[in-house]
Amino acid sequence: MDRRGLATLASGHAAADLCQGSIPALIPFLVHQRGYSFGAAGALLLVVTIGSSIIQPLFGALSDRLQLAWLMPAGVALAAVGIAGAGVFDSFALTCIVVGLGGLGVAAFHPEGARYANYASGDRRGTGMSLFSVGGNAGFALAPVLITPAVLAVGLNGTLIVAILPAIAAVVLAIELPKLKRRSAAAASAVAKGQSDRSGDRWGAFSTLAGVVSIRSGIYFGLQSFAPLWLIHTYGASEATGNAALAAMLFAGALGTLIGGQLVDRIGRRKVLVGSIVAQVPLLLAFMLSPSGILAGIVLAGIGFVTVMSFSVSVVMGQEYLPSRLGIASGVTLGFSIGVGGVFAALFGIVADSAGLETVMWIVAALPLAGLALALTLPLTAQEERISRPTRAATARTGR
């Protein structure tokens, strides 16, 4: 496992997702300072997720054909431009345009980033992909931590300060890219040889997995967008407190990603995925029924832990269901399916305007049941089957 390469990729992932995660963190300030409705806030989230997520499979298809490694530093740089401009323009239309462009940068980074993380992971795909994924989780978690003091200190123009970090990360990626390509050359060559054989691709299982990830994203983005507002309106928390609870959820998610990656290599992909969904159900109920804002914030962190635990798992499973199409598999599991979460967020905004915030939160609490129904139908990946064969053979020999 190439730890230096994974560290570089994880840093780039953190920078890209810092930019994407900064938009939800800006929502309470945009609602308060610019008078955006819940529907307008949801529309802004939809714009950034279409740019950053839904079109990712297109970049994935391109990377499968052309191996466009330079998209990694270029994508992070464009993402930095997006978050820098998000707080600068007073016009809603211009704000949508600039965050949409930043979203394109996020979309450009992810498929190639996940491809090279696969190369750098060696045989320890669960652990390696969790290290890559935790970078993205950390970026999302840092977003409210950085956005809140920056905006409180200098107003919405504080997004210019936050954009400095991803700009630096883009430069580092550009410098490290030749070394990363050299260290990954052998793995990249092996994958390229196997891409002509598509017999191992399992599109049915992959489509089901995409459905599971989409539902998980609906839960995640719903909480990201509206959990702080729920704490503010239900328990009288401040904007800063609401974003602090969001940060706790996201940091707990980063820890969940690391632990999930370790569990994947020990007990298997499907068990981790299904187990994380099962754990969501009681935690979401506890969040909705919590008697105090402090307890609700603690439970929200637990929800983040179990929800994001399966993040790297789903990427690994997607790549193993489509071994000849790593770019598309990464683009869908990291992008399109997550982008569907943005669509959920936009719809939630409309529902909140018409039926109230509580209705939206109960819908989010019920979504894991649909995700669990799909996850239980997923087959083992080919890699899991290879791992389980010796265990089954040993069990048959011992008669146990």
Residue 353 lies in a domain: yes
Residue 338 lies in a domain: yes
Low-confidence ranges of the chain (pLDDT < 50): 391, 393, 395-396
Q: Enter the tokens of residue 320.
A: 């193993």
- CATH number of the domain at 55, please: 1.20.1250.20
List CB contacts of 22: < 8 A, sequence separation 6 or more: 83, 86, 143, 146, 147, 159, 162
As a whole number of angstroms, the distance between CA 298 and CA 343 comes to 27
Tell me how far CA of residue 212 lies from CA of 277, 279, 314, 333, in angstroms: 10, 15, 9, 10
Residue 374 lies in a domain: yes
Whole-prediction pTM value?
Answer: 0.71
Residue 393 lies in a domain: no
Residue 141 lies in a domain: yes
CB 147 within 8 A of CB 76: no
List CB contacts of 248: < 8 A, sequence separation 6 or more: 297, 298, 300, 301, 304
Predicted local confidence at residue 387, as pLDDT: 62
Predicted local confidence at residue 395, as pLDDT: 46
User: In this structure, which amino acid lies at residue 101?
Assistant: L
Residue 128 lies in a domain: yes
Predicted local confidence at residue 56, as pLDDT: 76
Q: What's the domain range around 64?
A: 3-183+199-384
Predicted local confidence at residue 75, as pLDDT: 92
Predicted local confidence at residue 381, as pLDDT: 79
Number of domains in the chain: 1
Residue 191 lies in a domain: no
Alpha-helical runs (H) found in the chain: 3-33, 38-49, 56-66, 71-86, 92-121, 125-154, 159-162, 164-183, 185-194, 203-235, 239-267, 269-288, 293-308, 311-321, 326-330, 337-355, 357-375, 382-398
Residue 15 lies in a domain: yes
